[in-house]
Structure 1
Amino acid sequence: MAMSRGWRVAVSRRLTGNRLALTAAVVGSALVAALDTMADGWTPGAVALLIGPLLVCAHLGTRRTAAVAAWSLVLALGAAATHQRVAPPDFAAQFLALLAGSALAVRNAARHTAVALALARTTEVARVSQRALLRPVSVQFGGVTVRTRHHCPIPGSSTGGDLYDIVHTPYGARLLIGDVRGHGLDALGTAAATIGAFRDLAYLTPALGDLAEALDARISPDLGPEDFVTAIFAEFAPGEVRLVNCGHPAPVRLGKQIRLLEPPECALPLGLHPTPRPHRVFLQNGDRLLFYTDGLTEARDANGTVFPLLDQVGDALAAPAPSDALDALYDRVTAHADGPLTDDLALVLCQLNEQPLGSRSAPRTPSTPHKAT
């Protein structure tokens, strides 16, 4: 029911909220009729009263367009009766033309209403699906606490392709964050397919690099020639995190120092057949890792200046509670952009706790070499 009310309210605002168009149509039709009534020489004729229905049919709903059309017909009959011109053939022809034009205007309004209803329903379904796909995560695996946030763009923008997921596997806690190229339902479908494939493969693939390649092979057949998915894979182990970056913005480590965890070698995004090389980052208790999508780094102010991530992230994420830290970061980026963001933004904050990291899963020696950083 909540979804139904949502799209009905949106359509109501779009189709019946334009009072200016309605007022202009009613007043304009009345002025034309008054001119027809008072003029001694040239008169505009009944056909000129089509101005009312034509003004509103593209903006208002079927009922209001029909009401304006009826108003125009009444004005035409009233103006003709004033001059006793109801019977002549020229008036009959004009009145029929007015009647036909009014009917077409009502039909056009009905088509606009149907299209708007379908668009609103589709948009609302997409948003609900996206919220279900990117559900808020608040979990703790071993010594890692994970909190997430996903912020949709301003109303009217299309849904994006941000994605994230975290699973607890025999190889440790594994995280995926990514961004599908493009927007709309196609991007949302690709995001859902990517998350589904990650959940399947994360439990079956021991090496993190092999997981990235297997996921690429799984989703590539369903991608278009220009489609791809930027992604980061993270695997938490005692005292370290293992990373595979496939063309995604580098995460930020917040500890004694704040720095980007850029990969030693850049790999192509998923869908373009990357050859990723995992690398290690050693961690200490209390360290935080921020994963994000490009909605954060591409947020711009009125002058076109991008959000200064490294300058802002330290103070923003200083809040003791990870959830409060994410909220503070979002407040800062929206303040920088001077309003809601126009692109989706996904944030994942991982914090190492005091208890031994990875205590719920046995350490393992990865089958693929990792480079320590």
Structure 2
Amino acid sequence: MHTTLVLGGYGFFGSRICQALASNKAIHLLIGGRDVVQAQTLASKLSLNTDQGIAIDAHAPDLAQRLKALNVDTVIHTAGPFQGQDYSVARSAIGAGANYIDLADGREFVAGIAELDSAARDQGVFVTSGASSLPALSSAVVDRYLSRFSRIESIRHGIGSGARAPGLATMRGVFGYCGKAFSRLQAGRWQTTRGWLDLTCYRFPSPVGARLLGSCDVPDLVLFPHRYPDVHTVVFHAGFASPLGHLFVWCVSQLVRMHLLSSARPLVKPLHTISQWMEPWVSDKGGMFVSLEGVGIDGQPLKLDWHLVAAQNHGPHIPCGASIALAVKLARGDKLPHGAMPCMGLLTVEEYLAALQGFDVREIPA
């Protein structure tokens, strides 16, 4: 059996990944984290042996030795936030001869994973970062429609979440850049914008509807211009199910922009509590869109809009699709490239969404 360790396995995304992998007969699942009681409790809930829940510190200096002792074949790292992390976990996995997958959403973290390429190739292991909605699913959507364009010039995409608040680590990551400057390619020039500002309204297909969105710093902004060299605009926005909640974050971001507040991070914990309290009164529906513009193969202007909509608060399962699909591929012996790379070109849209079967997640193709 293929031993797969999910670090942060009882967390917000980790528990969802473990739920999907627990019944796979080709996988010996280990649920890892610093709290062995939580790990073993989840193992019991998933009808696993309690010893499949283990105490392990993702950042311990002896992590590589632990992974070797456990005979781990693949590590799935979900213990964010990844902004500000180094590659110690990935290096430990490589040192132990294990494959490595993470759900990182930090721009520099995902883009920089290629610095481990030589070490991963030498060990003959597969290492990827950003196995999540961005860039794994977003790039798969673009790749699917490439053949309909002679030239893609603009990629505008975004996510509107449902009511379910993500984990504290995820919130610390996304709110860390509230009001902070970052660059994105727009009209052929690298321009500066600020996190959660650039307020816009996007109308998702039913049942999601109109959502307020703000600009976010994501890996796609730097990865897509290299992957799709004809593109002159790459823009990403995200927003919350509650308009009032989104406007509150917009106001906080303005205070950071004006240097009246140094960072939004001290507000994360109370905001997380409030979000959980408000959940029953906020829409349980969310969505994702990818809009492509350019020149079609007939030489005429072409615009395509792809959507994914989720209900019943099943949206948080979407970021887990890539790691689930890749873990299944590795367990059944599919050939994945040796080396270290951002998670692009590794999954089709169909493979990604197949990992989400059973949830209220629906694709609306372009």
User: Which one has the bigger helix percentage?
Assistant: 1
User: Which one has the bigger strand percentage?
Assistant: 2
Normalised by the length of structure 1, the TM-score is 0.25
Greater C-alpha radius of gyration: 1
